[in-house]
Amino acid sequence: MSKRTKDVIIWFVTFFIMLIICLPGLWIILSAFRPNGEILTKPAIWIPQNLSLDNFRAIFGMGDNVVAIPVGSYFRNSLVISTTSTFLAIVIGMSGGYAFARFQFPGKASAFLWIMLSRTVPGIALSLPLFIIWSRLGLIDTPFGVILVYTAINVPFTVWLIEGFFRQVPHELSEAAQIDGCTRWQAFWKIEFPLAKSGVVSAGIFAFLTSWNEYALASQLTRSTDSKTLPAGLMDFTAQFTIDWAGMCAMAVIIIIPALILTFLVQKHLIAGLTFGGVKG
């Protein structure tokens, strides 16, 4: 077999696998535009007969058949909670990551280990005591309560990633900048931060995706439109007697689209982030 035919075969095999990876998602997206009636028909209708935005209208409370699920509020909650907790996790992660990368202090290694270990606690295991304590503190069903939790579960990973990136920046650069007239603070923002930026960006994406997609904690710590996020809200559909498949598909599309856009925008940083901070660290 010539090298060329081999290459072509490999290309098609890869393409086929990619298709398999994509199909489930595409199927959901397609279903989101089909009416429930068509989805439920037996035998199955393979060629979509009528595509429309009706399902989206319905879950946002517009149009004829209204779904009693406040997806608009869930979306807003998700957005507020994810962006705020990502921002906080990044700030805290930068501060902690910088400390680990640049300073020697007693107990450094074990501090790092314990921070990482805190991340291994399964969400559901953490949700039990948090549920009780947050109820006592009045934090149950508040965006603030969820933000606090998401920030905490994101911090270990942001610290780790960002630490790896700062460690790649030679400390002489900061010293050179200080000799060139910078304060330590200026040296950080003008020299060290720009050089570690892709680490910060990728840490931010991971934190955002984690918060945006989190379910185990959100399903216990949120109750109402005050704080319920999209993933927790998705279960509203199944709580009823009949499952509104089309509505769920439409909501699934709403959950996935921001994540998709964000990831594609910063794809380059994402790969750099995973490989640099993680592997070389």
Partner 1 sequence: MKKIRQCLREHSVPLALLAPAVIIILLVVLLPLIFSFYTSFTNYRLIKPETLWQWIGLRNYQRIMGDWAFWVAFGRTVLFLTIALNLEMLLGLGLALLVNRITWGQRVMRTIMMFPMMFSPILVGFQFKYMFNDTIGVVNNALQSLGLTHEAIPFLVDRWLAFFSISIAEIWMSTSIFAILILAGLFAMPRDPIEAARVDGCNNWQVFRHITLPFLMPFIYIAMTIRSLDVARAYDVVDVMTGGGPAGRTELLWTLIARTAYDDARMGRANAMAYVSILLSIFFTWFFFRKLMQARKHLGAF
Partner 2 sequence: MAEVSLKNVVKFYGDLEVVHGINLDIAHNEFVVLVGPSGCGKSTTLRMIAGLEDITGGEISIGNRVVNNLPPRRRNISMVFQNYALYPHMNVRENLGFSLKIAGKSVQEIDDAVNDAANILGLAEFMERTPAELSGGQRQRVAMGRAIVRHPDVFLFDEPLSNLDAKLRTQMRTEIKKLHQKVKTTIVYVTHDQVEAMTLADRIVIMKDGHIVQVGTPLEVFEHPVDTFVASFIGSPPMNLIEGTINNNKVTLSDGVTLPIPPKTGNSLSDGQKVIYGFRADILMPKGHTLAKGGQTADLDLTIDFAEPLGSETILLTKIGGVEIQAKMHNPRPVKEGEVLTCELSIEKSHLFDAATGRTLKV
* Residue 66 interacting entry, from partner 2, partner 1, none, C-beta within 5 to 8 Å by type: none
Cα–Cα dist 17/19, whole Å: 5
Nearest distance, CB of residue 110 and partner 2, angstroms: 19
Binding of partner 1 at residue 62 (CB under 8 A)?
Answer: no
- The CA distances from residue 17 to 14, 21, 83, 95, 275, in Å, are 5, 6, 34, 42, 24
Nearest distance, CB of residue 172 and partner 2, angstroms: 4
**Range 189-208, binding partner 2 (CB under 8 A):** 190-191, 194-195
Q: Residue 96 corresponds to which tokens in the numbers above?
A: 């902690």
Cα–Cα dist 143/247, whole Å: 25
Greatest extent of the chain over all pairs of C-alpha atoms, in Å: 77
DSSP letter at 191 equals: I
Q: Residue 244 corresponds to which tokens in the numbers above?
A: 């509104």
Nearest distance, CB of residue 114 and partner 2, angstroms: 24
* Residue 202-241 contact track with partner 1, rule CB under 8 A, x = bound: -------x--xxxxx--xx----------x--xx--x---
Q: Residue 73 corresponds to which tokens in the numbers above?
A: 């509020």
Radius of gyration of the chain (CA): 23
Tell whether the torsion through CA atoms of 143, 146, 151 and 152 is positive or negative. Answer: positive
Cα–Cα dist 173/182, whole Å: 11
Cα–Cα dist 160/156, whole Å: 6
Neighbours of 130 (CB within 10 A): 21
The nearer residue to partner 1, 21 or 62, going by C-beta atoms, is 21
Query: What φ, ψ does residue 201 adopt, rounded to 5°?
Result: -65, -45
* Residue 7 interacting entry, from partner 1, partner 2, none, C-beta within 5 to 8 Å by type: partner 1
Q: Which of 51, 62, 66, 260 binds partner 1 (CB under 8 A)?
A: 260
The nearer residue to partner 2, 180 or 226, going by C-beta atoms, is 180
**Range 141-160, binding partner 1 (CB under 8 A):** 148-149, 151-153, 155-157, 159
**Range 72-131, binding partner 1 (CB under 8 A):** 91-93, 95-96, 98-100, 102-103, 105-106, 111, 115-126, 128-130
The nearer residue to partner 1, 62 or 116, going by C-beta atoms, is 116
Residue located via tokens 């660290």:
281
Q: Which of 47, 172, 241, 279 binds partner 2 (CB under 8 A)?
A: 172
Q: Which stretch binds partner 1 (CB under 8 A): 18-26, 69-77, 168-176, 194-202?
A: 18-26
List contacts with partner 2 (CB under 8 A).
Answer: 170, 172-173, 175-184, 186, 190-191, 194-195
